[in-house]
Amino acid sequence: MEISTRHSPAFGVARCSLSGGEVARAESGAMMATSAGVDVQAQMQGGLMKSLKRSVLGGESLFVTTFTAPAEGGWVDVAANLPGDVVVRELGGTAWNLSRGSYLCSEASVEIDTRWGGFRNLFGGEGGFLIHATGAGKVVASCYGALDVVSLGAGERLVVDAGHMVAFQEGVEMTLRRVSGTMASLKSGEGLVFEFTGPGEVLMQSRNPGALITWLTQVLPFSRS
């Protein structure tokens, strides 16, 4: 499967070009358009229990949309709910951990599951679990706003606000902690941060979906009723 992106960085769209009979999987509701003849099915990948685990714990939908190309091949366009960029990563035997809501689509050979991120992660707005992508093939992640990619060297560290984390490569060590001092957290508006230690890549988004929800809750009429 070949994947190309367009309309970056504000309104990213990923096009999955499929050979005859080739299959792609995407988060439910991610489809924008397909070429004629592409078969679209909603399925529970890995069975009921695994699908429930991914949905309830990982923040993804219960059903995964499966696209199968006709004999002459075809394409599928996918896009995220929030405006922002999309990024393609080839797993090649190296797993990736994605934050809730960042998974967009992948090749059929990629296994999508959930992984426990630790009790500390439970209080970082990530629900305690991360989406874990393994296998060989391409996976597409989306973000809110523009995407930043940081390549960490061995032992190199990076601190990222919890709401701005998109994904990190397997092998990168991750811990979650509060910024120094409770009063400092209240004054700065910052609370929990991820601290990453390389080697490997870390993906960040320039906007925080949680901050958007907080702002909407404050300004929409129903929030004052």
137: left (phi over 0), alpha (psi -120 to 50) or beta: left
Side chain identity, residue 178: R
Q: Which of 94, 162, 96, 159 is nearest to 128 (CA)?
A: 162
Q: What is the pTM of this model?
A: 0.80
Mean pLDDT of 136-163: 95
Task: Tell me the three state secondary structure of residue 59.
Answer: coil
Coil, strand or helix at 5: strand
Angstrom distance (rounded) from CA 73 to CA 19: 4
pLDDT of residue 117: 55
Q: Which domain holds residue 169?
A: 2-224
For the ranges 27-36, 143-152, 180-189, 198-207, the lowest mean pLDDT is seen at 180-189
Average pLDDT, integer, range 38-63: 59
Q: What CATH number is associated with residue 216? A: 3.60.160.10
| Number of domains making up the chain | 1
Helix (H) or strand (E) holding 219: helix 209-219
At residue 124 the predicted structure's pLDDT band, cuts being 50, 70 and 90, is: very low
Amino acid letter, residue 182: T
Percentage of residues in the chain having pLDDT higher than 70: 77
Mind listing the pLDDT tens digit for each residue in 174-225? 988 877 655 444 444 457 788 999 999 999 999 998 888 888 888 887 655 5
pLDDT at 25: 94
Which tens digits make up the pLDDT trace of 59-112? 445 478 999 999 999 999 999 999 999 999 999 888 999 988 899 999 999 998
DSSP 179: P
CA distances from 202 to 68, 92, 104, 141 (A): 32, 17, 17, 12
pLDDT at 176: 81
Given pLDDT bands bounded at 50, 70 and 90, which one contains residue 119?
very low
Q: Containing H/E element for 16?
A: strand 13-18
